[in-house]
A and B are shown apart, each in its own frame.
Chain A
Amino acid sequence: MPDSGSLPPQPLIAMSAGALGQLMPMALWLDPRGTIRGVGPTLARILGGRAVIGTPFDVHFRLGRARARAQETGHFSNGRRLHLWLRANPGVSLRGSAVELGYRGEEGVLVNLTFGIQLAEAVRGFGLTEADFSPCDLAMELLYLQEAKAAVLGELRALNMRLEDARRSALDQALTDPLTGLANRRAFDLELSRTLSGLEGRRPSFALVHVDLDHFKAVNDSLGHAAGDIVLEYVARVLREEARRGDVVARVGGDEFILLVREVSDPEFVLAMGRRMISRLEQPCFYAGEPCRISGSIGIALSVDYVEPDGAQMLADADAALYVSKREGRGRCTLAKPGQADSSG
């Protein structure tokens, strides 16, 4: 700290307390013992009026970060940044700096303060107005920014909510299984009812081929879900390739698939198709060098076997046939008997 005594004398500035208060509405003048001798108008308002004059600094303020550096003249030294907390409002902090008055602070110190980061709370708590701030203080800009930010965030939040709603309804309306790119259950049901409703007066001829993977759980358990996903993509490719153009291939469960095979009445044709699928599924695909071995069980329902084909009944019958395949040792195809299953089950 340079000794002011060795510097050439600097011109002194004299001003009234009123002028000082106008320039620094949050000024604080302490005598060398730390007693308050004067306050700016805004600080007076915060501390509860001019009655604070003559009371000790410590009654109103608690020193923040600067405490460790506190020196003589109470707590302050020239130019040091100060951080104060209001004892009466522990949520409000003030910051500023102090200069010594008179020769080596014999007249005390002058402290200029401003609000810290809790500006908005202070404005609300003390009912402050623009007139309470020095025009040099960026308080108004900070308040303005805080409101502008809140308004913009409000718009963004509303936009996000609309986008989220749109995303959800898009998901609900989605017709594709994201992993395999096959149709999903919803798409399959739509396609099946469209096929059935378009049949009036014509003898329907299509097949439902219900495929359930065998040993898939073992692959998942031993090699992990990533391996399982590879297998599912492989299965999807096989089914897609074995189906003909216009047929629907859907993934309707974890390892369950259904094909809607159009324009077919010959059971042997569909059974051969099913056997081809099974033999291709049994060729191992590899994940990280490890073979993934699966097979498939298939149940088939043919619309020509029904007097009045009903989607739910055909699905239930195909499902029952599938379980016959499973029971008889997996890796095989079974043709459903119409009405074999109770469709309500």
Chain B
Amino acid sequence: MHGLINKAVQTFLRDNYGAALWRHVVQEAGLDPNGFEAMMHYDDDVTERVLQAAMGALDKPRVVLLEDIGAYLARVEPLRRLLRFGGADYWEFLASLDELPGRTRMALPDLEVPRLSVNAANGGRFTFEVEGPLPGVSAVMAGLLRAMADDYGALALIEPSETADGRELVQVALLETDYAEGRSFDLAMPGAVEAHHA
């Protein structure tokens, strides 16, 4: 797993639940005390151990934890901005999600992100099939898409689900594109982007 993803999980846990919880996870998962480096690669099972340790310590079901992580990601400012480049409004953003791996590759050729394909788009209803590096990736995407709906000021119902044969889905019912004000997105980067530190 790319260090950026592990680092994001680390930052999520530390920002939301404090350094003590993170130290506990480090110990439980047998990590380097310094945590993750964003520009390195780690074995996939390291990420899984972190998730298991966090689920245990926080007493949260996997889906809830992963949704929270997804929502957190969309609020990390450099990432939020990069996601907003997907489209001028939430509908366009949803329609551009199948470009996510391509966009990511432009920035970081070695970063694998979830692959979303629109299975059905009917008016304001989208069904995405999500393929990703860890089980429950649809929950991460559901959390992220919910946070982005807020960011755009759109009103949408978003739920992770799965098909009978276990493929992961995210279902989006877009009720209103211009429901609320939304957060501003100025194309011009406000100053230089600071590195996101834990």
- When A141-B106, A148-B106, A148-B107 are in contact, do A154 and B187 touch as well, CB less than 8 Å? no
Which one of A15-23, A92-100, A122-130, A246-254 contacts B? A122-130
Beta-carbon contact of A144 and B106 below 8 Å: yes
Cross-interface CB contact of A147 among B37, B38, B39, B189, cutoff 8 Å:
B189
- Is A174's beta carbon under 8 Å from chain B? no
**Among B15-23, B53-61, B81-89, B117-125, which stretch is in contact with chain A?**
B81-89
Tell me how far the C-beta of A159 lies from the nearest C-beta in chain B, rounded to whole angstroms: 5
> Is there an interface contact between B106 and A131, defined as CB atoms closer than 8 Å?
no
Task: Closest A residue to B38 by CB, please name it.
Answer: A155
Contacts of B188 in A (CB 8 A): 120, 123-124, 127
Q: Indicate if the CB atoms of A150 and B192 lie closer than 8 Å.
A: yes
B10 to chain A, nearest CB (A): 13
Q: A154-B195, A154-B196, A159-B37 are in contact. Are A129 and B106 (CB under 8 A)?
A: no
Check: B164 CB closer than 8 A to any chain A CB: no
CA distance A155 to B195 in the complex (A): 5
Q: Given that A140-B85, A143-B85, A158-B197 are contacting pairs, would A152 and B187 also be in contact in the complex, using a CB cutoff of 8 Å?
A: no
A interface, CB within 8 angstroms of B: 120, 123-124, 127-131, 140-141, 143-152, 154-159, 162
CB distance from A311 to the nearest CB of B (A): 35
**B85-141 interface (Cβ within 8 A of A):** 85, 87-88, 103, 106-108
Of the candidates B85, B186, B196, B197, the one whose C-beta lies within 8 Å of that of A144 is B85
Assembly CA distance A131 to B197 (angstroms): 33
Q: Please indicate the chain A residues that have their CB under 8 angstroms from the CB of B195 in the complex.
A: 151, 154-155, 157-158
SS of A interface (majority): helix
Binding site for A on B (CB under 8 A): 4, 37-39, 78-79, 81-82, 85, 87-88, 103, 106-108, 186-189, 192-197
Offer 27 A-B interface pairs, CB within 8 angstroms, sorted by A: A124-B188, A127-B186, A129-B88, A129-B187, A130-B87, A131-B88, A144-B82, A144-B103, A145-B106, A145-B107, A147-B78, A148-B106, A148-B107, A150-B78, A150-B192, A151-B79, A151-B82, A151-B107, A152-B39, A154-B194, A154-B196, A155-B4, A155-B39, A156-B39, A158-B195, A158-B197, A159-B38
Across chains A and B, the number of contacting residue pairs, with CB separation under 8 Å, is: 72
Which are the 5 A-B pairs with shortest beta-carbon distances? A154-B195, A148-B107, A124-B188, A144-B85, A151-B78
Considering only CB atoms, which chain B residue lies closest to A166 in the complex? B34
Q: Are A154 and B85 in contact (CB under 8 A)?
A: no
Contacts of B81 in A (CB 8 A): 147
**Do residues A130 and B187 form an inter-chain contact, with CB atoms below 8 A?**
yes
Contact among A141, A146, A152 for B189, CB-based, below 8 A: A146
Min CB gap B194→A, angstroms? 6
